[in-house]
Amino acid sequence: MLRYRLSRPRGRDRTRSYQKGTPVQIIAADVIVTSPDRNFVTLKITTDDGFTGLGDGTLNGRELSVASYLADHVVPLLIGRDPQRIEDTWQFLYRSAYWRRGPVTMAAIAAVDVALWDIKAKAAGMPLYQLLGGASRNGVMAYGHASGRDLPELFDSIRRHLELGYRSIRVQTSVPGINAVYGVAAQPSAGGRRYDYEPAQRAALPAEEDWDTRAYLRHLPGVFEAVRNEFGPELPLLHDGHHRMTPIQAARLGKDLEPYDLFWLEDCTPAENQEALRLVRRHTTTPLAIGEVFNTVWDYQTLISEQLIDYVRSAVTHTGGITAMRKLLDYAAQYQIKSGIHGPTDISPVGMAAALHLDLAIHNFGIQEYMRHGPATDEVFLQSFSFTDGYLHPGEQPGLGVELDEQAAARFPYQPAYLPFNRLKDGTIHDW
């Protein structure tokens, strides 16, 4: 565990207070980097009336940048602030930096924002979803990640997920002629180790993988046909294209997958150029999900206002926290676009809990991604959310319902880890 701590003794230090006369003040903030199963960045804020709140600032493969941004530039600004003023603190951190947006900045702001919501809900004695308007549903439908190198292995994986309680399934598969494809758990990546659902590998350098879009486009529709034949028409099926196609290739895949009635096709093309989605949309009725690498509402402006997507994929952790996600999802709701909050293993249980409270409260909930963390992570993060018969629930503990066992966290020091990258057969770097 790396720990960067800035704390002040209890009691008021008026020289540091930005908000004179505040009834409550932040007196300590700790940035805790720990690596049970994988690296996580957690911010713990403490107030002078004895509350603590947790926020997730994990950015896969770039964890220490967020830790430094928080410890060096944000934590000194928090001491003495009124923890109750969440919107004001969000605007202060966003606008006072002058440099806007970006994954590091927005993950750091998210960590502060979620920790303050945790404190506010604890102080109110309520689970956070109550402060967000109360429950709009009984539980949050979740999808899990099934994958296989061939059809029998994929079918086994789907059955295993059904046994675990999942009622919606993402399907990823190996492709003949490609050695290592994103999302196939049992497949050795170019680094020689199994993914086991966690693509970031603990190593000094990123693993190199390979890619061939034509081979993928030829192979995938047959896989979905086989899955539908085996599991029937009811089971909601999802697929992640992981940013690898051009718009015209994405349009073709969407069209080819229409007979298999996908819940969504995710990240069918890199979407920095939002207008590119017009072309995809013109050619297919397969629902589209985009946004896990986005970090503000501006990344979605065209996608949402022209109704070019069906699901918003941002993570609470990478998009400025509950405050910003709520605004983004309310904006999307005006265009009948639903949530599909990012929930891979690189979102910590703190970020996951924040997502679940939001999922439960908003009206335009779509689905929640849920990859289970490993046992060491569960030891470090004590969680109160539950998963029953396909539905997640954040639980009824005041606040987020997650606490950090700091002694357990200290047993798992940070380990350098990188996401892989892709090369085409001729050696050209391709999107991963």
Which residues lie near Mg ion (CB under 5 A)? 240, 292
Using the minimum distance from each CB to ligand KDG, give the nearer residue, 243 or 357. 243
Using the minimum distance from each CB to ligand KDG, give the nearer residue, 58 or 284. 58
Q: How far is the CB of 183 from ligand KDG (least distance, A)?
A: 7
Q: How far is the CB of 199 from ligand KDG (least distance, A)?
A: 5
Which of 107, 54, 115 minimizes the C-alpha distance to 342?
Answer: 107
Question: What is the rounded CA–CA span in Å between residue 279 and residue 273?
Answer: 11
Which of 179, 178, 176, 198 minimizes the C-alpha distance to 190?
Answer: 179
3-class DSSP state of 187? coil
In the 8-state DSSP scheme, what is residue 183?
A: T
Active-site hit among 145, 161, 239, 242? 242
Which position has the token pair 């046992």? 375
In whole angstroms, how far apart are CA 18 and each of 6, 45, 85, 251, 297?
A: 17, 17, 12, 52, 28
Q: How far is the CB of 341 from ligand KDG (least distance, A)?
A: 11
Q: How far is the CB of 154 from ligand KDG (least distance, A)?
A: 17
Tokens matching residue 83? 């923890």
Angle CA(328)–CA(266)–CA(359) in degrees, nearest 5?
A: 40
In whole angstroms, how far apart are CA 58 and each of 52, 256, 310, 352?
A: 19, 36, 26, 11
Tell me which of ligand KDG, Mg ion, none is bound by residue 346, counting a contact when its beta carbon lies within the kind-specific cut-off of 5 to 8 angstroms.
ligand KDG
CB-closest chain residue to Mg ion: 240
Beta bridge partners of 368: 142, 341
Q: Residue 363 catalytic?
A: no
Question: What is the rounded CA–CA span in Å between residue 73 and residue 78?
Answer: 10
Q: Residue 357 catalytic?
A: no
Tell me which of ligand KDG, Mg ion, none is bound by residue 339, counting a contact when its beta carbon lies within the kind-specific cut-off of 5 to 8 angstroms.
none
> By the criterion CB under 6 A, which residues form the site for ligand KDG?
60, 199, 240, 242, 292, 344, 346, 369, 419
Active-site hit among 182, 216, 300, 370? 182
Q: How far is the CB of 221 from Mg ion (least distance, A)?
A: 20
Question: What is the rounded CA–CA span in Å between residue 349 and residue 338?
Answer: 23
In whole angstroms, how far apart are CA 237 and each of 127, 209, 233?
A: 31, 26, 10
Which position has the token pair 């940048």? 65
How many of the other CB atoms lie within 10 Å of CB of 233? Answer: 7
Q: How far is the CB of 349 from ligand KDG (least distance, A)?
A: 15
CB-closest chain residue to ligand KDG: 60
| Active site residues per annotation | 182, 242
